[in-house]
A and B are shown apart, each in its own frame.
Chain A
Amino acid sequence: MSAVAPATPPAFPTFPPEHYLNAEQGIKSWLLTTDHKRIGLLYLISVTLFFFLGGLFAVLIRLELLTPQGDLVQAETYNKLFSMHGIVMVWFFLVPVIPTVLGNFLIPMMVGARDVAFPRLNLASWYIFNFAGLLMLWTVLTGGVDTGWTFYTPFSSIYSNTHVVTAALAVFIAGFSSILTGLNFIVTVHFMRAPGLTWFRLPLFIWSNYANSLIMVLATPVLAITLLLVALERLLHIGVFDPQYGGDPVLFQHLFWFYSHPAVYIMVLPAMGVVSELIATYARKPVFGYTFVAFASVAIAVLGFLVWGHHMFVTTQSLYSAMIFSFLSYAVAVPSAIKVFNWTATLYKGSVVYTSPMLYAFGFIGLFTIGGLTGLFVAALGVDVHVTDTYFVIAHFHYIMVGGTVMAYLGGIHYWWPKISGRMYPEGWAKLAALIIFIGFNLTFFPQFILGYLGMPRRYYTYPDEFQVLNVLSTAGASILGVGYILPMFYLAWSMRYGPVADANPWPSTGLEWRTTSPPPPHNFETTPVVTWDAYDFSSLEPPLGANQLDTNDHRGGSLENEKR
């Protein structure tokens, strides 16, 4: 196993004598910690467990779909499998994963603070999350829920015979942990930035997590209210959604998507922040159009609240409101496009190195581009009528939420692994995993676009014979994807003990988190940093990188000639 060679190898990197991992010992020191870095690791353990639980459901779904008949499981089990896959993956993995693991670990360090604004609230949010997760697990073990992750009424509120109330309660409670995390980040970014760290010197990871926190705080309560109403209708037969009592089933969809569409951006905005960091570091230059990328995050957060109606183009929504939602859906695509173009342009005249986190970042851009472009299909009213509720939509949102978010998350975990663990991971294995995931992902989900346009509806455990070839391809891809997701578990665990000790700034990068030891001390910095440089300014490093090149306007002149020669 070879490890990444640090760019500027120090003599022999060694662990600092005291760091956040060894400052206190014992289980109690972890369960009662208020250190944002330790809480980030606690979250890492929780969300990883939920990822593999949700993944187990996905495996069973894909195996059942190998054949057109219902042979592995029957309707009842299948319906519970896709419901719990969705609920676990959305609320217990995708929504929390980047903010709570990477966000918790990094945001205070990136702004030069000792901790988040409310450290105890931070720990409380982890306990709330786990309590919700245990309730969800209890729901699964006692029989599960079969409403789909969307809980559509009146099926969920009247007709389903499964554990809707406990599942909804679990999601309801998990929402509070989201809100507390969002609140903590907003206050931290506003009030705890180091001297000199102005808004426009902040890393883009902070911008996107800030925008994301706003959505979490503003949208999550709507979900909570909606699920509460479903539970009340089930228990007390109040007529909010049930037409039998004068309710409106479509009202549920309005309320649900008012949260759940912004939730898509909750999942993808932090991922965009990670990718901006990776590209800047490994192209070794500032992100192209920093302010455009920063404001694109804010634009996505704002416009994301105005597009919920595009989930209801085939319901009883009026033709004119459908038109408005279609238009706004195209409008929200613009800031995403701006980001993709800016990341691409960042490579121009960069100094690009193909480390494994960079491969994940490339993978993210590729999959997010496909996911985003297919979003234009479902925003087009006339085409959405045909493809909505088919596998086309399944493929589209998996490209964004799994292809996008999980790629960025894994890229981020690798990139910051030396900071988190103090050791380097085996680079060869990491590259292999990135490659396997990219190939497996496309093989899993690309055939589903075709299946969707052919008309295969989602949430079917049996299907007509002519859809089988594409389903077999998809299942084959899923098995490759599964291997790709399991690999990092092993080599990252291995590296915690056997990986070479990492330098404080191995890549090197410009963020404040890299200007302290690896792993960092309990309170992050020996002295409060004072920031005098813009984000991604490589000449701010000590000693400055490429100092001998800065006297020429374009250091590329020489290398072009080298190429010709």
Chain B
Amino acid sequence: MSSHFQLFPERASTVAGHVDALFAFLTGVSVFFTLLIFGLIIFFAVKYRRRSPDEVGTPTTSVALETAWTVIPFGIMLVMFVWGASLYFTLYRVPAGAMEIQVVGKQWMWKFQHLGGQREINELHVPTGRAVKLVMASQDVIHSFYVPAFRVKADVIPGTYRTIWFEATRPGTYHLFCAEYCGLQHAGMIGRVVVMEPQQYQAWLDGSSAAGGAETSPVAAGHKLFLDLGCHTCHRLDQQGIGPMLTNLFGKEIQLQNGQTVMADEDYIRESIVDPLAKVAAGFQPLMPSFQDRVDEEQLMQLITYIKSLGTQQAQAVTALPPQGGAKASGLAEAWQGATTTMPAPPQRRETQP
């Protein structure tokens, strides 16, 4: 983040060079056509300047020329289109094995949580040489995660998850901006991305944990929420619960009541928590209440991370649960009335009409 004058942005990710290459091509084509048009106008305007007051021009027309300047520009544009589209797919298709970091945008800050539990606000530490996948949610309005040095940007839209990825190449400190206008302190919703060599990054993670920067990991936090909210009373491990069993659920096709199927991804699980009746799994009653006002976006992410972890760790953690909840029917009511009073208030929304 140098404060001196510059004309071209720093390049600090694997895709930055590719974006700049297409930009250079576009600039080249544009400069050529700008000079061509300006040059022709000046040339014709001088050469064919009016020399006597009643002089008239000679009508001209040419279908060949019309065809040429329809077809040739379109051909050049097709190159731009294909090049731009293939780059776009690279930008938004997350490579397998990317390291996941959770991001919540809210008026007016960026909150990050590493899978080890380390939390950061308006500052994000990442290693070089490793693809990083950000799973992003918004607590309130639309924000946009933008790191110019990486040439990546994605709108973070309330009500849905957005993933984006990058692989940093050069250690340094880079701007992080919110690029979508989000209200009063939009210009203050900025931060820094600190790119470190892998060893330094590991040291930072360890140091951050030691300093208390890491609380519980998202999986553990999600597990705790799962218990506190009473989710386990219905979503049991023995297929005897009144809700679907969540083990090995993530990434599977789910059969719905209405005969359709849906992929159990982050968005589906999120929707099933905040609006459970929208897509009810086949064979289950539409009984679940909405947890929309009980959990904020960070907690939703922790719950989802926990549910994702059930796919891999065979749910040992859950078997160790204390048997709370008791009988199904009464447990249900208790579960979603009790235990959640300490939840944070839902995000602030406008109180009054103008």
Which chain A residues have a beta carbon within 8 Å of chain B's beta carbons? 7-8, 70, 75-76, 79, 143, 146, 148, 152, 154-155, 158-166, 234-235, 243-244, 246, 248-250, 283-286, 288-290, 292, 313-316, 319, 322-323, 326-327, 330-331, 333-334, 337-338, 340-342, 344-345, 347-354, 362, 365-366, 369-370, 373-374, 376-377, 379-386, 388-390, 450, 453-455, 457-466, 469, 538-539, 545-546, 548-549, 553-556, 559, 562-563
**A354-B292 Cα distance, complex, nearest whole Å:** 67
Q: Which residues of B contact A313 (CB under 8 A)?
A: 88
Residues of chain B with a CB closer than 8 A to A162's CB: 354
Cβ–Cβ contact B275 & A382, under 8 A:
no
- Asked if A353 and B49 sit within 8 Å, CB to CB, the answer is yes
Query: Given A8-B54, A75-B187 in contact, is the A377-B45 Cβ separation under 8 Å?
Result: no
Binds A, one of B157-165, B212-220, B256-264, B320-328: B157-165
Interface segment, one of B19-27, B232-240, B247-255: B19-27
Asked if residues A250 and B88 are in contact (CB atoms below 8 Å), the reply is: no
B90 close to chain A: CB less than 8 A: yes
Question: How many angstroms between the C-alpha atoms of A459 and B65 in the bound complex?
Answer: 43
7 A-B pairs within 8 Å (CB atoms) are namely A154-B141, A155-B183, A234-B353, A338-B70, A352-B48, A385-B91, A466-B4
Q: Does B329 contact A (CB under 8 A)?
A: no
B107: nearest residue on chain A (CB-CB)? A159
A212 vs B303: C-alpha distance when bound (angstroms)? 53
CA distance A458 to B183 in the complex (A): 13
Q: Which of B69, B178, B354 gathers most chain A CB within 10 Å?
A: B354
B5 touches A453 (CB 8 A): no
Number of residues from B at the complex interface, CB < 8 A: 99
Determine how close the nearest CB of chain B comes to the CB of A41; give it in whole angstroms: 31
A454 with B350: CB separation less than 8 A: no
Known contacts A154-B158, A316-B162, A376-B80, A352 near B49 by CB under 8 Å: yes
Do residues B154 and A314 form an inter-chain contact, with CB atoms below 8 A? yes
Minimal beta-carbon separation of B135 from chain A (angstroms): 13
- CB-contacts of B293-349 with A (<8 A): 349
**Closest chain A residue to B148, Cβ basis:** A455
Let me know if A385 and B30 touch, CB within 8 A: no
- With a cutoff of 8 Å between Cβ atoms, the chain B residues found around residue A538 in the complex are 56-57
- Nearest-neighbor residue (CB-CB) of A343 within chain B: B41
- CA–CA, A555 to B181, complex, Å? 59
CB neighbours (8 Å) of A79 from chain B are 181, 183-184, 186
Q: Do A158 and B350 have beta carbons less than 8 Å apart?
A: yes
In the complex the two chains form, is B3's CB within 8 Å of A465's CB?
yes
Given the interface contacts A315-B157, A316-B157, A330-B74, does A546 sit within 8 Å of B7 by beta carbon? no
In the complex, besides A159-B350, A352-B50, 5 extra interface pairs with C-beta distance below 8 angstroms are: A322-B85, A323-B88, A337-B73, A379-B80, A455-B177
Complex contacts, A146 vs chain B, CB 8 Å: 183-184
The residue from B6, B33, B107, B179 contacting A457, defined by CB atoms under 8 A apart: B179
Question: A382 to B87, Cβ gap below 8 A?
Answer: yes
Q: Please give, as numbers and ranges, the residues of chain B lying within 8 Å of A340 by CB-CB distance.
A: 37
- Whether, in the assembled complex, B121 has its beta carbon less than 8 Å from a beta carbon of chain A, the answer is no
For B184, the chain A residues whose CB sits under 8 A away are: 75-76, 79, 146
- Nearest 9 CB-CB pairings of A with B: A455-B148, A382-B87, A243-B159, A285-B57, A380-B84, A381-B88, A546-B56, A347-B44, A350-B57
**Chain B proximity of A179: nearest CB distance (Å):** 28
Contact of B175 among A322, A330, A464 (CB under 8 A): A464
A464 and B3 within 8 A (CB): yes
On whether the beta carbons of B292 and A244 are closer than 8 Å, the reply is yes
B346 CB to closest chain A CB (Å) equals 8
A374 & B49 in contact (Cβ 8 Å cutoff): no
Whether B66 contacts A292 by the Cβ 8 Å rule is yes
Q: Binding site of A, secondary structure by majority: helix, strand, loop or mixed?
A: helix
Instruction: Decide: A319 and B188 in contact? CB cutoff 8 A.
Output: no
A438 to B8, CA, bound (A): 26
> Is B279 among interface residues, defined by CB-CB distance under 8 A?
no
Interface assignment of B151: CB less than 8 Å from any CB of chain A: yes
Chain B, Cβ-Cβ closest to A139: B354
Please, which residues of chain A bring their CB within 8 A of the CB of B199? Answer: none
- B78 interface residue (CB < 8 Å to A): yes
Output the residue of B26, B54, B140, B162 with the most chain A CB within 10 A.
B54
Nearest CB in chain A: distance from B9 CB, A: 5
Question: In the assembled complex, how far is the CB of residue B280 from the closest CB belonging to chain A, in whole angstroms?
Answer: 15
Taking the closest CB of chain B, its distance from the CB of A49, in whole angstroms, is 25
Q: How long is the Cα–Cα vector from A120 to B157 in the complex, in angstroms? A: 47
Q: Are B178 and A457 in contact (CB under 8 A)?
A: yes
Q: Are A160 and B350 in contact (CB under 8 A)?
A: yes
Q: Which chain B residues lie closer than 8 Å to A246 at the CB level?
A: 275, 278
Interface positions of B from 24 to 63, Cβ below 8 Å from A: 26, 29-30, 33-34, 37-38, 40-41, 44-45, 47-51, 53-62
Looking at B48, B78, B177, B188, which has the most chain A CB atoms within 10 Å of its CB?
B48
- For A380, the chain B residues whose CB sits under 8 A away are 22, 26, 80-81, 83-84, 87
A469 vs B5: C-alpha distance when bound (angstroms): 7
CA A333 – CA B29 in complex, angstroms?
A: 14
Q: Is the CB of B178 within 8 A of A330?
A: no
* Residues on B with beta carbons closer than 8 Å to the beta carbon of A376: 26, 29-30, 77, 80
Tell me whether A381 and B144 are in contact (CB under 8 A). Answer: no
